[in-house]
Amino acid sequence: MFNIDPAAAAAGASLDAFTTGVHPDDRKRFVREIKRSAETGLPCTFEYRVCSADGVVRWVLDRGRITLDEEGRPLHGSGVLLDITQSRLGQNDEGSQQACQEPHPLERAAEHCLAARQVIQELPEPLLNRMSDMLLLEIGRALARLTNERRLGAMN
């Protein structure tokens, strides 16, 4: 989605490589959200556009966090990215960024699943790896619905 070679992304592409794939109008906010997570270790959930390898601009819902070391320095980032282009068609950018609020149980579940997936990937268990990926995909879909409901609720 970020116009990055999948093998390079899996090997740990730099944040700059991902930032380059973000739509120019959304880069500043993207960097700000990632920086906030890197400074606090808190998760972030936000929507933005990416310029994919096929030349199409897509909307994505990003739920992730930067893991910090004992001294509070960023170690690595992980998260779930979901293509929500279809749900964004015909909508404007108003309300695409959620206000800070108490995390929804689904958002908390996503955090726990991300942590579990990270540990499961260390195991030589292909079925568990696939199941954790499937669970995160379904949580991502539910988060997309939740985000859409919140956006619609804010419009009323």
The stretches of 51-94 forming alpha helices (DSSP H) are 85-88
Per mean pLDDT, which of 5-19, 37-51, 84-98, 137-151 is the most reliable?
A: 37-51
Task: Look at residue 32 in the predicted model and tell me its pLDDT.
Answer: 92
- Partner residues linked to 45 by β-bridges: 63
pLDDT tens readout for residues 72-115: 898 888 888 888 888 776 554 443 343 334 578 888 888 888 88
Structure tokens at 144: 């997309």
Max intra-chain CA distance, the chain: 49
Task: Look at residue 156 in the predicted model and tell me its pLDDT.
Answer: 53
This prediction has a pTM of: 0.60
Note the residue count of the chain.
156
Task: Look at residue 154 in the predicted model and tell me its pLDDT.
Answer: 58
Q: Which of 8-22, 23-37, 117-131 has the lowest mean pLDDT?
A: 8-22
Phi/psi of residue 136, nearest 5 degrees: -65, -35
Mean pLDDT of 1-28: 83
Structural domain spans, the chain: 6-155
Structure tokens at 78: 């992980």
| Superfamily the domain 6-155 falls into | PAS domain (3.30.450.20)
